[in-house]
Structure 1
Amino acid sequence: MNETAKVTLKKSFLPLAGALGAAALAGAGLAVWGNAELRRFELKDITVPLLAPGTLRGKSEFRLLHISDLHMIPGQSDKIAWVSALDALRPDLVVNTGDNLSDERAVPDVLRALGPLLNRPGMFVFGTNDYWAPQLPNPFKYLLGMRRIPSYIDLPWRDMRAAFIERGWQDATHRRLEFQVGSVRIAAAGVDDPHHDLDDYSLIEGAPHPDSDLSLALLHAPEPRVLTEFERDGYQLSLSGHTHGGQLCLPGSRAIVTNCGIDRARAQGLHDFGRMKMHVSNGLGTSRFVPLRLFCRPSATLLRITEKES
């Protein structure tokens, strides 16, 4: 190759090299920003008129705090402090929809984070990342919405469950619960994680107690086939997590994937599912192998349940 050809080749390569360098720099910047977003917790505040007039006996609202997907790793002190401070909201009821763990050593930190909230009425269901350790995901399977096989490496979920129950929270997994908080009579039911077919709706099927004021459906992943059963039985509000709100979203918090059967438009927040309201939490953590959030900050939600207009 003569000198003129070498110079021409070098000049043609420079723009490509510059573009690749700029892309790498932008990618690195995006990763740094996405990681920083993990600690920018938000409280979402939603009002939902579900109760019959007179139910609250003069109170303005029933406060339900929805927490999901802590994915706790030892040493996440910012998360522990932020979650424990939610007790200042004085929730009437706390609902935890699972995936509390992302490390076998994380149970003590989960209990520290939830500490004061465990003194309040509460109930929970678990997700597969309570039962089994996370693993490095295949990005192609994730983006194509393909279900991933769990690691089946056991996590100490039994110890965590025992601690929740000892403090007074109720396990709603494949159980129908009836209890009263203040003047509000609650009927609730839950299933095990439907994303990996751990659910058995036949164990809880049927309408909620007719004398209840508020009926709640709990499931970790908002899989439409199970939501359909709850809606058909007449539950008023379902509570789930799992999606992380999309986690890696487009501007405006628009989900690219949901990692389950729910559509992208309902990957986070409050929506209708037939006659039932459904709330999907953004969650408070991520898998330890994907420590990034884009346009989708970690959050908990305070649902202010009010009386319907007469």
Structure 2
Amino acid sequence: MLVAGARSAHPALLALGAVGAVGAACAVWGIGIERYLFTVRHVTAEALTPGARPIRILHISDAHMAPWQRRKQDWLSSLAALEPDLVINTGDNLGHRDGLHGIRRAFDAFEGIPGVFVHGSNDVYGPSPRNPLRYFSGPSKRHQEPEHLDTAALDAYFTDELGWTALNNTAARVSVAGTDVDLFGVDDAHRDWDELDALPGAIASLGARDAGTPLLGVTHAPYQRVLNAFTDLGAQAVFGGHTHGGQVCLPGFGTLVANCDIPLKQAKGLSTWSHDGRSIPLNVSAGCGHSIYAPVRFACRPEATLLTLTARDTPA
């Protein structure tokens, strides 16, 4: 009941209040809830030669680990129970100078499971505060000298303790469940550390490949030049990260920015990359972390992917 003479609130003030309330609710969700809603995507792609046995690949990316992020560490560690045949780690593991402590806690459970990895820039340099609006003007660029991280210690942990193989601008043959799998990869293309010209020789150095030996490409940043080159090199599937799936997405629309030149509709999840007459599966992980300076996820849950590669019905 209105008191005589009292005036109702101006409609503009009511609208402003409603917008503010919605914004506050979104911030609470994105900062306090969704960034902890870790999920595993289970997908399947036909990529292998006819008659080949399936390969179950756990694709992990963009942990951006800080030592205090115990929920993320516990979740990553629990993924070993999925018993993948192969782990592919597409970089940006570190998010703090002491992030390796959290990485150890997260990945110790994977010791003995074959794995490969490539670097993202946050395996080399520490994070720094940035204006998130700049991402709308194009891929981010370095504006100040960042803190150097202990990349050598991270690599030694992966290779010497877990038994994983580095694929930074090189190739390797890995035994996966008794089957040879050939893989090649590049260092972070976002920093122009990729050396695509080195890959043909690296692949050739592996020696003769059986007709049924899979060939997989691994990159941190899925720039089109990298995806096209991988397709030309005969990759049967490609794995990338870096985009965070947009990290803050618009419900009903999806990814707003990818921080590279990949089409937004392919900035997360499983899709098909086509180039020069070939089409291959492309899986871009939305990642499971975020910069400590941008602790938010909205309409883009932190994730890992269990991707089962299966045989095609007919030859490629």
Q: Relative to structure 1, is the Cα distance of residues 253 and 112 closer, same or farther in structure 2, using a 3 angstrom cutoff?
A: farther
Of 37, 48, 62, which aligns to 1:51?
A: 48
Measured against aligned partners, the alpha-carbon deviations of 1:164-204 in whole angstroms (never above 9, x if no partner) come to 11121001111111132124321111111001111111111
| Contact in 2 for aligned 1:122/1:169 (Cα 8 Å) | yes
Q: Relative to structure 1, is the Cα distance of residues 253 and 268 closer, same or farther in structure 2, using a 3 angstrom cutoff?
A: farther
Q: Which residue of 2 aligns with 1:22?
A: 18
The range that moved more, 134-143 or 18-27, is 18-27
Displacement of 1:235 in angstroms is 0.7
Q: Which residue of 2 aligns with 1:213?
A: 213
1:145 aligns with 2:142: no
| Contact in 2 for aligned 1:141/1:148 (Cα 8 Å) | no
Residues 180-199 of structure 1: pairs in structure 2 closer than 5 A:
180-199=175-194
Residues 1-310 of structure 1: pairs in structure 2 closer than 5 A:
14-35=10-31, 36-56=33-53, 61-149=54-142, 151-167=145-161, 168-205=163-200, 210-211=209-210, 213-252=213-252, 254-274=254-274, 275-309=279-313
| Contact in 1 for aligned 2:114/2:174 (Cα 8 Å) | no
Q: Distance in 2 between matches of 1:220 and 1:69?
A: 9
Amino acid at match of 2:19: A
Q: Distance in 2 between matches of 1:306 and 1:92?
A: 13
| Contact in 2 for aligned 1:234/1:276 (Cα 8 Å) | no
**What is the DSSP-based 3-state SS (H/G/I as helix, E as strand, rest coil) of the residue aligned with 1:149?**
coil
Amino acid at match of 1:230: F
| Contact in 1 for aligned 2:114/2:175 (Cα 8 Å) | no
Displacement of 1:75 in angstroms is 1.5
| Contact in 2 for aligned 1:184/1:214 (Cα 8 Å) | no
Unpaired runs of 5+ residues, structure 1, are 1-9
Displacement of 1:18 in angstroms is 3.4
Measured against aligned partners, the alpha-carbon deviations of 1:105-148 in whole angstroms (never above 9, x if no partner) come to 11011111011113210010010011111111223311222422
The percent identity for this pair of structures is 39
Q: Distance in 2 between matches of 1:16 and 1:253?
A: 27
Q: Normalising to structure 1: TM-score of the pair?
A: 0.90
| Contact in 2 for aligned 1:55/1:184 (Cα 8 Å) | no
Name the Cα RMSD after superposition: 2.1
